Amino acid sequence: MKSILFSVSLILFSLAWTSCSEPPPNEKCMEVIATAYNSTPAQTRPGTTGNITAWGDTLEEGMLSVAISRDLLDSGFVHGSKIRIEGYDDELFVVNDKMNARYTNRVDLYMGTNVDSARQFGKQKLRICLQLPREE
């Protein structure tokens, strides 16, 4: 009896583990380095007031926006894409900005004008998931 219970427990654990590690069919996931940035002239497009993105979008305080490294464009993370970020699972971020070409495999979370929050966020490895169009 104990061996049957153990086997059933092991199978259930394996199924739960597998289902947690695989993204839903409408997502493409990858691990990246995540940092944060603010609306300051030093951190955004040169010659602007700090709230204009590389694609020309206007950033506003409280937006769930990210900048992506340019190599992620080839993976489908393009302007206007919606992404889910580990730790922020209930919220979708929008790709509104792109980073300097020297960065790779990276996202930069927009944190408005709160420089302390961005510094506190620091540099982390996170899993991001691109929301793919649903097949109809």
CB 127 within 8 A of CB 88: no
pLDDT of residue 40: 81
Q: Look over the chain and give the mean of its residue pLDDT values, rounded to a whole number.
A: 82
User: Dihedrals φ, ψ of 114, to 5°?
Assistant: -85, 85
pLDDT digits (tens, 9 = 90+) for 25-76: 678 999 999 999 998 877 766 777 778 888 989 999 999 999 999 999 999 9
Q: What is the CATH number of domain 24-131?
A: 2.40.40.10
pLDDT of residue 136: 54
pLDDT of residue 6: 38
pLDDT of residue 45: 64
Q: Residue 105 above 80 pLDDT?
A: yes
Torsion of CA 113, 115, 116, 122, to 10 degrees: 130
User: For the chain, which residues make up each domain, given as ranges?
Assistant: 24-131
CA distance 25 to 15: 17
User: Dihedrals φ, ψ of 71, to 5°?
Assistant: -65, -20
